[in-house]
Structure 1
């Protein structure tokens, strides 16, 4: 424990996530222990999330330039992204946690783009998980319209392609109150209770141009998880279709970057990771790649595909919006001089499973 605390004093939580030689379960325990011990002194970029918002709003690169360029050129022209590495990202869930049925939630994730929503100073701006500007709207969120311009709200969402619906995954701040210190269970309760007080968020209106729907978090008791995995579709009329599953530890705070306290898998991998006694709807097996062997082999091929495509992208001089897509939602390379990060510690949740599979055929 002392070694963990010493490391946290010197570096950041991201270094703890990437310790070599530790299995996933041990890293989870270390992180939760450190979280308890350093509750008031955690080294994490999300601790100053509201200060980051103020800095971004006061930065010239986010002001007045929108009128000078078309949106895609404006986004591609960013040389720095104030909101990069803010969202909490998952690791592949490669083993069942020891406390899975007591302390974990499962969340169905739609196919869509992972989006940071920042409602502040009377407008709501959308950013990719790499900090690139994606759009600006009026919403009924605190801080999202003129009537509420002295407030601030920050959400972690999925936005399906060509959709005005934001599927809310998590909460970073609400009404100028940072929520990143709250545990998963508390953040979700806070979202649900406060969203009920703003019915305007459920429909399009003159003052609200985006619809916000909270993604369910289902506690993974044996009964709940089996019932959850037999359900299909998880979204009305298959639109958007289910992409994959995120698993949240009940006690996890909101950390920026990758964390073993959030896991990701595709539905057809559930029996392999959690045991064959977990029954899944047969429709999920239809999504399994024809050349699928097992999860470990899939991840290895996934990693290789990512490395090849990222290397090709780094050597390309194409603008960001026309660069070739990466497999299954992994990181576009905002800095063309940086090396790709290990895929087993990233969240493959921004493009569909089918795109990933086609890349590996």
Structure 2
């Protein structure tokens, strides 16, 4: 269905039309929330510590859905037509790109205080909200991040940070995407260096939990096609290499580290003014690396051809 639809001409109610309508609805909703009780926190009144403790004590056979189910925001595939992606006129100035999005499992990271012993992280699946794992963390308590657990995390210890929903009890879902990504980078950079688990001293290493928080790169100001052609799209094709700190070696005083490749899954595009919203969002678009089917180009290559057509190069 998708491979057929992206070759069809845009209809009147195109993805771009629906996107602009949704952005205006979001702006009006945000203004009403601020003007009323100023309660813009989707987690208002919730204590992360109490929530996690309550869910840990829940009866295993209980059918009650998790509070974390479908909280994460995810993008629609970028709508295509015969000429390439149906990009809006303000794409260069109003949008931001996040790339390369690594391969892995999308999840929510909830940091809370456990038994008075610092911060503990609960990794929750994006759809069902069930707990994937629990481990110590250097994140501040009362923090929620939208993340991707690297497909090879057991061997590289990497947890990729995509977005920030809450930090030290302060809600950021109503902030614009461009601010959220800047804030994410600033706060992660301020954290103490990671302390790798002792199991990382093995060769090859094997981790019992991810310990490296890596912010996925983001790019504003997309009006220059060369930024897309020479940097963003090549990164999305090849992925990146990441340096991972390992536990100190008893045989040497030199820093012990591992350089690992992280494969790319594609590019995420966000409307810079958009808020974070639960579930599928028209204000974010997905451009995958993998082809839609046998013998077909990937959305990334169609996207690259469209961008190439906008420049004289």
Would you say same fold, with TM above 0.5? yes
Provide the TM-score with structure 2 as the length reference.
Answer: 0.68
How many residues are aligned here?
A: 240
Supply the distance in 2 between the matched residues of 1:46 and 1:93 (Cα, whole angstroms). 29
Find 2:43's aligned residue among 26, 46, 49. 49
1:229 aligns with 2:221: no
Find 1:22's aligned residue among 10, 13, 19. 13
Contact persistence 2:106–2:147 (CA under 8 A): yes
Contact persistence 2:239–2:262 (CA under 8 A): no
SS where residue 180 of structure 2 aligns?
helix
Q: Give how far 1:35 is off.
A: 2.5
Unpaired runs of at least 5, structure 2: 1-10, 80-85, 114-118, 199-208, 242-258, 290-297
Distance 1:59 1:195, change over 3 A: closer
Find 2:87's aligned residue among 84, 96, 102. 96
Q: Give how far 1:136 is off.
A: 0.6
Unpaired runs of at least 5, structure 1: 1-19, 69-73, 144-151, 280-361
Q: Where has structure 1 moved over 6 Å in runs of 4 or more? A: none
1:167 aligns with 2:172: no
1:253 aligns with 2:275: yes
SS where residue 251 of structure 1 aligns?
coil
Match of residue 262 from structure 1 = 284
Contact persistence 1:56–1:82 (CA under 8 A): no
1:117 aligns with 2:109: yes
Structure 1 vs Structure 2 CA RMSD: 3.0
Supply the distance in 1 between the matched residues of 2:63 and 2:159 (Cα, whole angstroms). 24
SS where residue 159 of structure 2 aligns?
strand
1:190 aligns with 2:159: no
Supply the distance in 2 between the matched residues of 1:111 and 1:46 (Cα, whole angstroms). 32
Q: Give how far 1:230 is off.
A: 2.7
Contact persistence 1:139–1:210 (CA under 8 A): yes
SS where residue 252 of structure 1 aligns?
coil
Contact persistence 1:159–1:167 (CA under 8 A): yes
Contact persistence 1:96–1:274 (CA under 8 A): no
Say which structure, 1 or 2, has more relative contact order (CA 8 Å, 6+ apart). Answer: 2
SS where residue 82 of structure 1 aligns?
coil
The structure in which a higher percent of residues are helix is 1
Supply the distance in 2 between the matched residues of 1:63 and 1:167 (Cα, whole angstroms). 25
Contact persistence 1:138–1:209 (CA under 8 A): no
Q: Give how far 1:155 is off.
A: 0.3
Provide the TM-score with structure 1 as the length reference.
Answer: 0.59
